[in-house]
Structure 1
Amino acid sequence: MADAGSNDVSAKLEVLRQRFRDKALKEFDALDAIARSFLAGQADCQELDQVYRILHRLAGSAGTFGYSALGEEARRLELWVKPQVDDCEDGFLKSSEINEEFFSHLVSLREMLALSDRQHTETEASVYAAQPDEAPVLVIEPDASKAEQLAEGLALYGYRVSAIKSLVEWNPASDTRPSVVVVRDEVMLAEASRLPAEFRELPVICIGVSDSYSHRYALAREGAEAFFSDPLNLPLLADHLERLLTDHADAASGRVLIVDDDPELREHYQLVLSNGGMEAEGVTGDPSVLLPKLSEFRPDIVLMDVQMGGISGTALARMMRFEPEFLSLPIVYLSAESDRELQLEALSKGGDDFLTKPVSDSFLLRTARIRCYRAKQLDKLVSRDSLTGLLKHSLVKAEVAKEHARCRRMHHDSVVAMMDLDHFKKVNDTQGHRSGDLVIKGLANLLRHRLRKTDVIGRYGGEEFLVVLPECTLERGQEVLQAVCEDFSRIVFEGGAGEFSVTLSVGMAALPDYDHPEEAIEAADRALYERKRAGRNGVTAVGL
């Protein structure tokens, strides 16, 4: 009952949050209109007072609904405009500091609202909070000492681990549902038939001594997705864990835009997909609504009717392809049209697949998941480094530029950091390039789990990494990355010449301190080499 009550409260709070958001968007439209009047020299004190009242409301209420940064910026702008309101006489402005700069900050409020929606974070400006772990690992190991060693090793990578000796010890009523199960092979074979329903769709990794094909087949038949033999190679296990969790998360989620002129049907599809763990939004076929929604929502796929009153879905598909950013966006027609020739004709004009109405809820959900998963996998091939899964060089640099611009607009602290693996050439020469790749992947996985989801991580080249910590002070960033260095140095890798460890050097700089993002990257790079000259294995920050 407590869970039901909590869910009910959460749902009501979310309704309130959405109502606040909707009202804020309308107020931003009003601010935009007033801005145009001011810049054209046609505004008066009454409109300026309206600006003040909108900012005052946002400043007082935004934080309550999870938009802390928006509330702080509204408060700053409110204080900026208040003297001008007080200085008005007979409906006319005597003097004014209300200029293009002020209205550029007003425009940024809309971006801050959208950014908070995407991040879903409570992080306050200039305060760095590590991302809560969303990937608990359940270890089922009869040997207590082996279970403890495994838990300690995986904890270095940021995994939260709980260990039990047998499945009978796991209590679905009180224990946290794991994201992945690591189980001793003998337990898996003996207890697979009693696997709880909560586990049936989870990734399962088996560990054991026997490595025969018949043994592996028996484990695969019982549902195992991977097998690692003793002695356990922990970095390899951690790397496989990361890939399994990422694939399962991608397969169960996605963003779907539903384009249909039937409001009841549109909302039905939206509810089905949302209840299945996907993000879904619906719009009519009005082109003036569709294109802005595509840019705002950034869907993985589009489900679209073919005929919507006087609007043609195929014409909409062609129009969407006019924009280079939507050339590869999958469009799935969802229509009552059953003529195969007409379906093929529709596909030839910009569509990727065709589903015939009516479709069952389960079929719709499975189709959307598969299509979203495939779209995300293709996007990763283009934007992600193949070895680590991190952003490629050019894209991570673009993210630095975006965050630099945000710092300038919103006046908050952010950090850029350059990282380099110490003596990495020696690792490749003595341990082999395969071990070197494993070290690089090990650091990538550690960073993913140690940093927030809102942080940006990219492979800059070779053994170098580039990281951006938004809304983070230099002092706090140094603490976080120093902890990363310490944990990484404790990881034991296995190579051609035996076990070994690797250390990490980091150089950091505050993004707002530089006029251009490239200058901040260069400063972080200089700090990195200062760290190298100072003995490696640690963090050097510009100005600290």
Structure 2
Amino acid sequence: MSEEKKSEVARKLELLKLRFKEKATTEIGLLQGAVERFRAGDYCASDITSVYHSLHRLSGSAGTFGFAALGEEARSLERLVKPLADTDDGLPERGLTTAQVREVVNEAFVSRVANLASLVSQEQGAPKPHDPSSPLIFGNKTEDSVVLIVDPEPDSARDLTCGLEHYGFLVNVFSSIESALANGAAGVSALVVRDELVIRESGILDALAVKPPIICIGAEDSFTGRYALAERGVDGFVCEPVDIPVLADYMERLITERDEGRSGRVMIVDDDPELLEHYGLVLENGGMEVRRVNNPAQILSVLSEFRPDIMLMDVQMGQFSGLNLARMLRFDPEWLGLPIIYLSSEEDREFQVEALSQGGDDFLTKPVSDRFLLRAVAVRCYRARQRDKLASRDSLTGLLKHSLAKSEIHKEHARCTRLGQTSVVAMLDLDHFKQVNDRYGHRTGDLVIKGLANLLRHRLRKSDMIGRYGGEEFVVALPDCSVEDAQRVLQSVCDHMSGIVFSGGGREFSVTLSVGMAPLGDFRTSDDALEAADQALYRRKQSGRNGVTVSGDEPETVGTVS
């Protein structure tokens, strides 16, 4: 994050703190007047409820803005008043007498309320907004995944480099961890290191503020050795001789998990504008996409438009109960799986369990520090996306399933038609894949399929859609891409796929790829475009495989058959 951006976030948080102080001072003045009336016997049920809610708000928000002492004292007073608030539905009918009220709201209570005003000036210092470059969140993923190989043996380092470059990794080789990390680990997607170097130079890794995924390579595989590496924070281990497709798949999984753990879409619902803005700034500063909702009546419309990974919601917002709102959202099957996390200063475990039974999923107890809020939200967003993947993603490759891939292509076709832009759809098929399964087994066949999936992820853009259409067949959509550029990129994918060496049954082999593509906007429907791409793929198979054919082109007679 730039210094200018950090300064702007700090300025906004400071303004929110000043606004909180002003509101807290006003609220404490109203509290003082209310408790004085209590002492005089001039009160009603709504007054007790109002005092309880005022203390509840102060206890939940003061710590967030750096006034920990004020928050703790307000929480202590809130606990004293809560039994009165729980039985205030018409004082005479519930048997709550003036004597019972005065027993709680006594001289000591009145004095403590009066002292709250002095605590507003006792700022303990709010936590600084979290900097995404700190160890909590890793650096941004670049379009190309940069891998550092640390291996003093030139031959093995060269073999690793050649193998990984086919998958689209940008590889740099070093002979020691110290030299590899001389400029830090910013921008590094993964570190592949000899296990003995990790044991010998672990102090260098411990000193890193930002750690990329670390995979060790070793000649011996044992429980003791693996445990020693785990103690030093290593994320994975591959035994020699290294199977490059296995290593590439391992790295891809770790990199994806790392990158997905730093982002998310969060909807915050809170009627306190200062808290709402504070939480939003903290999460946005940490890389989250945030939508703020101050009026609970807007929840449904914002949900449909924003479609968050998780929702953070206050338990009590004026006339609206967070519990009832959560129950209402579950009326719609579309939101049955949406994680709802309550933000509340409520500490009663029985109440929390009851709240969860009404449709919530978790509690974050106010006040919440900036760092804890960001960590908690990041973890919950990641878990929510993982659950979503189980339903929408192919279990083997992590790519979109057939039906969802077709749905995304349909949306892209509609966008092309509306905006008059050029996009391309392509069908891809592994050549002679049945022979791979027959000769080397289905486990090896699965590794080939995963190899192509990882290759596509690295060679295509983040904006491109990739799906597994079925078996060894894939589909991709390239938005805002000319036919010429798409053909060049997909031919490069074919070239790199043919260069990957797989192992099975004690033998090494390669697999080629055939591609048929069509301009998406040239057809009346997305299904017509897919059919044209499929016909182009058929012509590629007939004319030699291992290459790209565009819909409408004459069949070619060149190409190799694997």
TM-score range, shorter chain: 0.7 to 0.9
Cα distance per residue 1:484-537 (max 9 Å; x no partner): 000100000011140000000001111111111111111111111100000100
Shift of 1:327: 1.6
Between the aligned partners of 2:378 and 2:316, the Cα distance in structure 1 is 24
Shift of 1:184: 0.7
Shift of 1:400: 1.0
Match of 2:285 in 1: 275
1:351 is the counterpart of 2:368: no
Match of 2:424 in 1: 415
Match of 2:176 in 1: 166
1:387 is the counterpart of 2:407: no
1:454 is the counterpart of 2:463: yes
Q: Which protein has the larger Cα radius of gyration, Structure 1 or Structure 2?
A: 2
| Residue from 217, 235, 257 that aligns with 1:247 | 257
1:476 is the counterpart of 2:452: no
Between the aligned partners of 1:135 and 1:10, the Cα distance in structure 2 is 30
Distance change in 2, residues 1:476/1:285 (3 Å)? same
| Residue from 299, 310, 324 that aligns with 1:315 | 324
Structure 1 residue identity aligned to 2:438: D
Unaligned runs of 5+ in 2: 12-140, 554-562
Between the aligned partners of 2:531 and 2:462, the Cα distance in structure 1 is 25
Distance change in 2, residues 1:377/1:217 (3 Å)? same
Between the aligned partners of 2:227 and 2:185, the Cα distance in structure 1 is 31
Match of 1:371 in 2: 380
Cα distance per residue 1:370-411 (max 9 Å; x no partner): 211111110010000000000001100111111111111010
In the TM superposition, what are the counterparts of 1:72-91 in structure 2 within 5 Å? none
Contact 1:390 1:444 in 2 (8 A): yes
Contact 1:430 1:497 in 2 (8 A): no
Distance change in 2, residues 1:369/1:538 (3 Å)? same
1:333 is the counterpart of 2:342: yes
Cα distance per residue 1:203-227 (max 9 Å; x no partner): 1100011122222222122121211
| Residue from 276, 279, 295 that aligns with 1:266 | 276
Shift of 1:147: 1.9
Between the aligned partners of 2:3 and 2:540, the Cα distance in structure 1 is 53
Give the percent of matched residue pairs that are identical in Structure 1 and Structure 2.
Answer: 59
| Residue from 195, 202, 208 that aligns with 2:205 | 195
Match of 1:128 in 2: none
| Residue from 505, 514, 532 that aligns with 2:514 | 505
1:404 is the counterpart of 2:413: yes
Between the aligned partners of 1:297 and 1:197, the Cα distance in structure 2 is 40
In the TM superposition, what are the counterparts of 1:112-131 in structure 2 within 5 Å? none
Contact 2:266 2:308 in 1 (8 A): yes
RMSD: 2.3
Match of 1:183 in 2: 193
Distance change in 2, residues 1:235/1:173 (3 Å)? closer
Contact 1:177 1:198 in 2 (8 A): no
Structure 1 residue identity aligned to 2:196: E
Between the aligned partners of 2:194 and 2:167, the Cα distance in structure 1 is 21
Contact 2:169 2:458 in 1 (8 A): yes
Report SS of the residue matched to 2:242. coil
Shift of 1:193: 2.0
Between the aligned partners of 1:7 and 1:426, the Cα distance in structure 2 is 57
Contact 2:148 2:180 in 1 (8 A): no
Contact 1:133 1:160 in 2 (8 A): no
Shift of 1:345: 2.6
Alignment length (residue pairs)? 424
| Residue from 217, 225, 232 that aligns with 1:222 | 232
Structure 1 residue identity aligned to 2:268: I
Shift of 1:355: 2.2
Shift of 1:266: 1.4
1:439 is the counterpart of 2:439: no
Between the aligned partners of 2:377 and 2:4, the Cα distance in structure 1 is 31
Between the aligned partners of 1:409 and 1:501, the Cα distance in structure 2 is 42
Between the aligned partners of 2:5 and 2:347, the Cα distance in structure 1 is 45
Higher alpha-carbon deviation: 230-239 or 214-223:
214-223
Shift of 1:291: 2.3
Cα distance per residue 1:104-151 (max 9 Å; x no partner): xxxxxxxxxxxxxxxxxxxxxxxxxxx952531111111223223212
Contact 2:9 2:285 in 1 (8 A): no
Report SS of the residue matched to 1:304. strand
Match of 1:535 in 2: 544
Match of 2:62 in 1: none
Contact 1:431 1:497 in 2 (8 A): no
| Residue from 485, 488, 497 that aligns with 2:497 | 488
Structure 2 residue identity aligned to 1:309: G
Between the aligned partners of 2:292 and 2:242, the Cα distance in structure 1 is 49
Structure 1 residue identity aligned to 2:152: P
In the TM superposition, what are the counterparts of 1:293-312 in structure 2 within 5 Å? 293-312=302-321
Between the aligned partners of 2:404 and 2:7, the Cα distance in structure 1 is 41
Match of 1:285 in 2: 295
